Amino acid sequence: MDKIKIHGGIPLDGKVRISGAKNAALPLMAATLLTDETLTLKNLPSLADITTMTALLAQHGVKLTMTDEDGGALIFDSRHIFNLKAPYDIVRKMRASMLVLGPLVARYGKAKVSLPGGCAIGTRPVDMHLSALQKMGADIQIKEGYIIAYAPAGGRLRGADITFPKVTVGGTEDILMAATLADGQTILRNAACEPEVTDLVECLVKMGADISGIGSNTLVINGTERLHGAVHRVVADRIEAASYALAAAATRGRVEIVGASLNHLAAVARAMIDCGVSITETETGFIADARDAYLIGTDIMTEPYPGFPTDVQAQMTAFLATVGGASLVTESIFENRFMHVPELVRMGANITVHAPSSAIIRGVQKLSGAEVMATDLRASMGLVLAGLAAEGTTTVNRVYHLDRGYEHLEEKLTACGAQIERISEE
Ligand code: EPZ
């Protein structure tokens, strides 16, 4: 298994070009199942999760072609779908596989998708996806670990008025896609409005879907009998952008983020500015600068967009561990998302987790390098940030987590002066 070795304590200085967002790309790829024309996606990141989604779609019968056009794109062709089953072996690797459920039932009237099971950051049930589909007339059975869903007689889901009891990104995306081909109008209330959801809405509209309320918590979808093909560019990854901005801050350096929108990161920018980091918008992104800054802690709480993203909590926690004063971090989205804390403590951080949902951080003068491992993607990135800030050498194990969400991680950090290398082991 590969490891990442970091010689820390070097302030980052340079530019990072942000890749396409993994969490936008995955639902966009699932949307190909809604049409028998081709969907061309540009700016897809090269990541393990994208490979997993490609494998899932291919086993359903989607044909994929690469083109060099506009810096590279993938063309998805769902004309000949022959298999409506998403098998356990793929779904257990990546929960976003659930996103094929809505499109398959909507277009083919049937789907069999493995239940994803729990995950390192929480139990992560899928009940809201299922109850929304039931409201749209689907018959849903759970058998031998699989969700088996049938559209009502006639093979078409029916529009419905659905209020999600809790904001769910994947649930909103899944049901939004299903609703585009349903009979009649669907209203999704308390819908997620993350930029990745909006990117999906924009692509569906290009495919001929009738959706209003874009970017808000209420989406109104008038179902149509068929969608057509489209060409779409995946939105930039705001979580990747925030991660590099926080890496600049944690190392007391300066990084120019190119290609990401500061608008998508208002809550993160606000928290960093509160701590004393300078954030300046540029024509192509923004600059995070913490050189010679007097930094002090702040309190954050993770919330659905536009609140502070849970996917940046681990990286923010690692940064806060290095600044003066105390900070309170409250995680309100997932019940078990402090798995990075014990590892940060091994690096000299002073953090106490108050179960179930908060952590008190008292900044320390310096973290020290250590051998660490994390249980999920963002926790791993938190440890990379801590390693970049720490004195000495940090080895981050289980790099496969990072490979799920950070394209060209070592190259991007090396270009900013970091001493970081991947060590491949059998
Ligand atoms: C998406 O996961 C992201 N994944 C996650 O990013 C992100 O952390 C999360 O949204 C929250 O922003 C992708 O977009 C592929 P949810 P998702 O449904 O859709 C509960 C990363 O690191 N819930 O918004 O699975 C759930 O347990 C990943 O890139 C139910 O109770 O998250 C959680 O507590 C990790 N029932 C909350 O809602 C349901 O049916 C929000 O989950 C669905 C969700």
Atom 5, ligand 1: which residue's CA is nearest?
A: 311
CA angle centred on 162, ends 112 and 222, rounded to 5°: 85
Q: Regarding predicted confidence, which is higher, 68 or 141?
A: 141
| Rounded-to-integer distance, Cα 133 and Cα 179, Å | 9
- If pLDDT is split at 50, 70 and 90, which confidence band does 426 have? low
**How do residues 348-396 score in pLDDT, each as one tens digit?**
999 999 988 999 999 999 999 999 998 899 999 999 999 999 999 999 9
Least Cα distance to 311 among 361, 246, 373 occurs for 246
Q: What is the DSSP string of 258-299?
A: ES--GGGGHHHHHHHHHHT-EEEE-SSEEEEE-TT---B---
In the numeric block, which tokens belong to residue 387? 């390693």
SS3 content of the chain, % helix, strand, coil (to 5): 35, 30, 40
Q: Is the CB of 233 under 6 A from ligand 1?
A: no
* 340 CA to centre of ligand 1 in angstroms: 18
Ligand 1 close to Cβ of residue 127 (< 6 A): yes
Which tokens sit at 306? 């536009």
Catalytic status, residue 119: yes
Q: What is the mean pLDDT of residues 90-116?
A: 97
Which helix (H) or strand (E) segment is 256 a member of? strand 254-258
Express each pLDDT in 11-63 by its tens digit: 999 999 999 999 999 999 999 999 999 999 999 999 999 999 999 999 999 99
pLDDT for residue 72 = 78
Residue 172 CA to ligand 1 centre (angstroms): 10
- 124 pLDDT band, cuts 50/70/90, is confident
- How many angstroms separate the CA atoms of 79 and 320, rounded? 50
Task: Give the Cα separation of 372 and 299 in Å (integer).
Answer: 26
User: 302 pLDDT band (50/70/90 cuts)?
Assistant: very high
Q: Of residues 119, 193, 203, 275, which has the active-site annotation?
A: 119
- Which pLDDT tens digit goes with each residue over 171-206? 999 999 999 999 999 999 999 999 999 999 999 999
